[in-house]
Chain A
Amino acid sequence: MVQSIEDKRVETDICTIGAGPVGLFAVFEAGLLKMRCHLIDALPQIGGQLSEIYPKKPIYDIPGYPDILAQDLVNNLEQQIAPFHPTATLGERVEELDRLEDDSFRLQTNEGTEVFCKVVVIAGGLGCFEPRKPAVENLEQYEGKGIAYIIKNPEKFRGKKLVLAGGGDSALDWTLYLSELAEEVTLVHRGSTFRGAPDSAEKVMSLADQKKINLQLNANVTAIQGNGMLNACVITDKAKNSVTVDTDYFIPLFGLSPKLGPIADWNLNLDRNAIVVNTEDYSTNVPGIYAIGDINTYPGKLKLILCGFHEAALMSHSAYRIVSGGKKPSFKYTTVNGAPTM
């Protein structure tokens, strides 16, 4: 099965950025041509949006399956590529891409993992999921200086004053958790009620009644103040009344939104956040870099998993020439060669 490896240095033929269905199938097509693959994905598990967003949704347009649950498709793909023993770096995001003197590539993740490869295949789907930010002036100036969008280590907030914003499950859950640790917790929510898990919403309301947290409903954080470090949030309600709350941290929790991320800086031709490719082999304008699946665009493009599978097959035959140093791949049906192996 596809397990994340801890190695900080990986050498492979093809590095696939994105471990969604199309990235996984690329491993299969590459494997048929005896090319090794390493997968990198920012999410901690394989499957991309199928596993992250809609694992229980049935999909009806996968050839040969009248219907299949998204997670079952991912599980089947994982089984299908197992003979090729792909390796993976999961939960890390590719930050840098350099071309080396011999025309091969070096990729580096945000955690310092280096992958050396001959071909890069971007199968990034929607892009990386990044925190959604509220429209508050100077927000970015205080990122890392009192503003946090993701809570990695809750201990950091012990004994501190916190302002949280949001009305979803994550805002409710973190309010409950952090109310035990922090000196003071203020939760700011735009609405008057919570739609999240009723149990969590009830607990939050109860903590507010007991004055254990400060709950500001029908309100938004409209400004932040500080002097190098954040020290206060201005909270404004629907009647335009404002209060200033002293705080050490402001934690907006408004969910995740997909963004292209560092890929946008790799000199690839882009059209509306999608990578322009040549439909002969799904190569980009940069030799050795291919883009397949939802992240690419071309005349007539359809964002369908089955189209991504087709793109993976054509990409692999083209990439083979680079990986093998110019040899032409021999085309064989899997029915002729028997069970695929590496």
Chain B
Amino acid sequence: MSGSLPTEDPLVRMYRELKRASAKDKAQVKWAMVIDQAKCIGCHACAVACASENRLGPGVVYRPVIEQETGTYPNVGRRFLPRPCMQCENPPCVAVCPVTATYKNAQGVTVMDYTRCIGCRYCIAACPYGARCADFGGFYTSRTAESPGQVQGRYAARAYEKQNAPEYGRNWGERGKGSPIGNARKCHFCLHRLAVGQLPSCVTSCVGRATIFGDRNDPASLVSELIGSPRATTLKPELGTRPAVFYLA
């Protein structure tokens, strides 16, 4: 068997490393993500898995996949740029929040306190990556016709929206008028999944294994290995935000 072929699914390795990280003191762990653009096929599975996992309402997206065209005709290329929250070490969104509703947790993830957020959207304007969304309270079923007895009717479809958003390990209740409606929302590396030993949903749903996740404080982790690659880069490094999401160009 060729030595260049992978002998193990990266997902298996990431789960093993996640278990190792979970056993450590929380303050010793720094979560990071590496996205290999050469492997990303632009299937948008991560974006859909994220929306489903976090019960995102209409117009709220944590991880859109941007399609980019490069070069000039006839030497053109096409690549994809999945864009989660960069979990910056020096996040502009945290500094501007007037009510400390957003902050960095011990593992370096920028989190939201939905119960504190006043919905001023200053953090959204401050994020240089457009990685935050305002939840204006839309419903996927608001224009769905009712069809009694049919699976696709409004009331049947509403079952999706009745499910509780699991973010930050708290029961936010059925989507109605309470938070997170009216708040700013963002990717949080699926902290609620990490808490129970699961990788973020965008990582597990990536069919090309283009998204790698792990503890960058663990030198033996796949994510640390890839961050050290000469291909590794970050978005808008000139702003000094020091993202924890790296791209392999």
A and B found bound together? no
* Contact surface of A with B, Cβ cutoff 8 Å: none
**B residues apposed to A, CB below 8 Å:** none
